[in-house]
Structure 1
Amino acid sequence: MTTHSHAARRQGLKAFSALALAALALPALAQNWPEKPVRLVVNFAPGGAADVLARAIQPQLAKTLGQPVIIENKPGAGGNIGIAETVRAAKDGYTLLLSSGGAITINPMIYEKLSFDPGRDLTPVAAVARVHVYLETHPDVPAKNVAEFIQYLKANPGKVSYGSPGQGSSPHLAGEMFKRMAKVDAVHAPYRGAAPALNDVVSGQLQYWFDPGPGLKHVEAGKLRLLAVGSAERSPQYPNVPTLAESGLPGFDADTLFGLYAPTGVPDVVVNKVREGVAKALEQKNVRDIVAGLGATPAVMTRKQFIDHHAVEAQRFGELVKSIGLKAD
């Protein structure tokens, strides 16, 4: 019996030592992070705002981390496919997500059967840019300003269509906010990202949309008409273009923050290194130029400010989502 208890004790000590060693090894592993390429999941299609921002910060992020950063587009279901992919990944920092804040805060309100809770399963790491939305129409739409456009919509109830990067995306919510505040009726056409929606506005299959940035080059080329900015303030890039608030819809603001997220539980050393990489990227002129090309603004903020912003966004859009009874399949 004694021999048996000695053996059991020895086994117990061995197991305890193994656990203690494993516990010691964890911080050591984290300190050496990253020791292999890092995957950056983008939960919208190539060519959209999230994708453009990811590719803008990728070179500096890779330089700071000392490892390649590989971008993987996982579009669909309003960003949920990319979120699910990230949430399922190991909590070791080798899978990160670049997403719109709307996909994180709004999707739980509109998708009833989510396999994850972004507020619980993701940790906000670093804000990248404040993405503004721009009301753009196809040139065939006979309206030169917001008042004329509202008049045109009222004359054609339910006959005019607008596109968005997906159900619950900030351009979709901007479209619903616009319909509600302007008291107009138009048909929403959701896409799997901004790029395919933009193609159909440029080709005239859709009459208008709220552009998160990729369409501005078509405005410059005369293929789209920019009527207004859906932000609280005018865009520095387009100082002569009025906001919707100035154009008869007081209080209109549909901006959203885009940023980097990690699965909840990643070590602090990962969060800090990624934040350092993003901060360095946002200091570079070429990166700032790409952000400006989207009509967006670099979002330089503390981690607490970034985390707190999610509650603000949830409240602002949450009231709209409830009032229009927005639900996605």
Structure 2
Amino acid sequence: MRPIAIAGALLGIALGAGTGQAQAPAFDKPIKIMAPYAPGGNIDVTARIIADKLREVTGTTVIVENKAGASGMIGSDIVARSAPDGTSLLVSANSLVAVPAIYGNAPYDWRTAFTPITHIQRVPAVLVVPPSSPIKTLADFIALGKDGKFAVADSGVGTTNHLAIELIGEATGTKYTLVHYKGSGAAMIDVMAGQVPAQVDQLNAAIGNIKSGKLRAIAITSDKRVPQLPDVPTFKESGVKGLENFTFATFTGLFGPAKMPPEIVAKLNEAMVKVLKDPAVVARFAELTAEAYPTTPQETAAMFDAEDKMVVPLIKKLQIKPE
């Protein structure tokens, strides 16, 4: 996995502190968790896992809402504009910092529009193809990227799946025709149907279809092979020049709107620590090859800040724009 710096307390304070007058939630009002992509992908799966346990921990109704569009910005903006009372939350991935850099006219600044609450989980990416595909190895896939015509599906412009493909291209000198969807679930349907010949997706979203034989995994971006798919090699094992040390992970965090009072943030963080340390939740994420662990709001802010410093320069270098 890529190293994640746990620093930047000042950033976390700036994002997490607020002067709002709302009272600390007693968890007697429904909590809505926004998953700003279509159902079936990493964000949606993650939101539903934590929602199930958060209902139990808080004793209140917890609803997951999907609002896809603009690579997650539509749903995210709804949360950014919500009251900072702890009832409207957002599950977002690394792409929270990448998408605004790509679109340029994002309706919010991620640094000031949201209050970080906790990290949720991180998971590697996987390259998948239909079962009948002639692609057998990662070297086969890389060879098809020499002329830029080979199509690869992702879950939207600026998502971590998209950036993973760009990072692979940068490392190997290859280029692909990217097919951007409004979520990895829709992309996966077309790949399984043979409409698009390959996809890069989070492993936790794809593993069910891999195990059922609807997709075939070529390689995983983790540092070591995952026990759930012991026969699937890592990118590092591929022997492809440029990928000798290649790893990649999508990590997700829980956010609320800006200016949430510290007592609300603290209460939500406390509840999420219980959620993410629950053995059943840990096991559920592990089944999906994801690692669950909570962090402080300041640590969460620092993780996304470190991601910003890494991917935004790549976006500018490649001049990645919305389509």
TM-score, with length taken from structure 1: 0.85
**Displacement of 1:316 after TM fit?**
2.1
Go from structure 1 to structure 2 and tell me whether the alpha carbon gap of 1:166 and 1:206 turns closer, same or farther (over 3 Å shift): same
Q: Larger deviation: 283-292 or 93-102?
A: 283-292
Q: How does 1:26-105 map to 2 (within 5 A)?
A: 30-102=23-95, 104-105=96-97
User: Retained in 1: the 8 A contact 2:130–2:197?
Assistant: yes
- Given the alignment of the two structures, is residue 205 of structure 1 paired with residue 195 of structure 2, yes or no? yes
- Given the alignment of the two structures, is residue 138 of structure 1 paired with residue 130 of structure 2, yes or no? yes
Residues 183-211 of structure 1 deviation map (CA, whole Å, 9 limit, x = unaligned):
22321011111100010111111111112
User: Retained in 2: the 8 A contact 1:64–1:276?
Assistant: no
Higher RCO (C-alpha 8 Å, min separation 6): 2
User: Retained in 1: the 8 A contact 2:151–2:197?
Assistant: yes
Point out the structure with max Rg over C-alpha. 1
Go from structure 1 to structure 2 and tell me whether the alpha carbon gap of 1:153 and 1:112 turns closer, same or farther (over 3 Å shift): closer
Go from structure 1 to structure 2 and tell me whether the alpha carbon gap of 1:185 and 1:36 turns closer, same or farther (over 3 Å shift): same
Residues 127-182 of structure 1 deviation map (CA, whole Å, 9 limit, x = unaligned):
1110221111223332322123223444xx34421111100000111111112222
The amino acid across from 2:207 in the alignment is L
Within 2, Cα distance between the matches of 1:238 and 1:323? 35
Out of 267, 277, 280, the residue aligned to residue 283 of structure 1 is: 277
User: Retained in 1: the 8 A contact 2:86–2:268?
Assistant: no
**Displacement of 1:311 after TM fit?**
1.7
Out of 120, 126, 148, the residue aligned to residue 140 of structure 2 is: 148
- Given the alignment of the two structures, is residue 324 of structure 1 paired with residue 318 of structure 2, yes or no? yes
User: Retained in 2: the 8 A contact 1:45–1:73?
Assistant: yes
Out of 89, 107, 110, the residue aligned to residue 115 of structure 1 is: 107
User: Retained in 1: the 8 A contact 2:91–2:254?
Assistant: yes
Out of 167, 170, 174, the residue aligned to residue 164 of structure 2 is: 174
| Residue correspondences, number | 300
Q: Give the aligned CA root-mean-square deviation in angstroms.
A: 2.0
User: Retained in 2: the 8 A contact 1:143–1:152?
Assistant: no
User: Retained in 2: the 8 A contact 1:86–1:263?
Assistant: yes
User: Retained in 1: the 8 A contact 2:25–2:264?
Assistant: no
**Displacement of 1:264 after TM fit?**
1.2
Find the residue that maps to 1:134 and give its secondary structure: strand
Residues 80-108 of structure 1 deviation map (CA, whole Å, 9 limit, x = unaligned):
01111011111121211111132x21122
**Displacement of 1:54 after TM fit?**
1.1
- Given the alignment of the two structures, is residue 229 of structure 1 paired with residue 220 of structure 2, yes or no? yes
Find the residue that maps to 1:214 and give its secondary structure: helix
**Displacement of 1:41 after TM fit?**
1.1
Within 2, Cα distance between the matches of 1:42 and 1:262? 12
**Displacement of 1:240 after TM fit?**
4.4
**Displacement of 1:278 after TM fit?**
1.8
- Given the alignment of the two structures, is residue 274 of structure 1 paired with residue 268 of structure 2, yes or no? yes
Out of 157, 162, 187, the residue aligned to residue 177 of structure 2 is: 187
- Give the aligned partner of residue 236 of structure 2: 245
Within 2, Cα distance between the matches of 1:142 and 1:101? 32
**Displacement of 1:263 after TM fit?**
0.7
Within 2, Cα distance between the matches of 1:198 and 1:323? 29
**Displacement of 1:239 after TM fit?**
4.3
- Given the alignment of the two structures, is residue 312 of structure 1 paired with residue 309 of structure 2, yes or no? no
User: Retained in 2: the 8 A contact 1:237–1:292?
Assistant: no
Go from structure 1 to structure 2 and tell me whether the alpha carbon gap of 1:31 and 1:148 turns closer, same or farther (over 3 Å shift): closer
Gaps of 5+ in 1: 1-25
**Displacement of 1:77 after TM fit?**
0.6
The amino acid across from 1:143 in the alignment is I
Within 2, Cα distance between the matches of 1:217 and 1:119? 35
